[in-house]
Amino acid sequence: MQASRPAIKYLPPKLPNAMPAKLGETPGRVVNTPYGTRVYYKPTLRKVIFRKPGVHRRSEKVIARNEKVAAAKPAAKCKGLPWDKFVVCLSEQMKKV
């Protein structure tokens, strides 16, 4: 069995050629190339994949919902509870948002 390596968190510098995020698009944190992509080998496809980092939320309804949740911070209100109670509390807090 192969020992796993610890995850390395790398926050890339702001690249001059990096495109600004569009509506509802987060820039992401992991960059392997100067073009803002991450390169990795995908064994199931047997080829190298170039992946652009970030999350795309283009719907204005989704963006508005995300802003409401970010303002309410429902998880912070349930902090410190055991997992089963945390899930119930978070569910109740999300219904209020």
97: Cα separation from own chain's centroid: 21
Q: Where are the extended beta strands (E) located within 7-77? A: 38-42, 47-51
- Tens-place pLDDT, residues 40-82: 888 988 999 888 766 666 778 888 888 899 999 999 999 999 9
Mean residue pLDDT across the chain: 77
- Does 50 lie in the same domain as 25? yes
pTM of the model: 0.46
Q: Is 1's pLDDT higher than 90?
A: no
The DSSP output letter for 35 is T
- Predicted confidence at residue 59, as pLDDT, reads 78
Do 78 and 46 belong to one domain?
Answer: no
Residues 97 and 66 in one domain: yes
Residues 17 and 27 in one domain: yes
pLDDT of residue 73: 93
**DSSP conformation letters of 9-39:** P--PPPPTTPPPP-TTB---S---STTS-EE
Q: Domain check: are 39 and 63 in the same one?
A: no
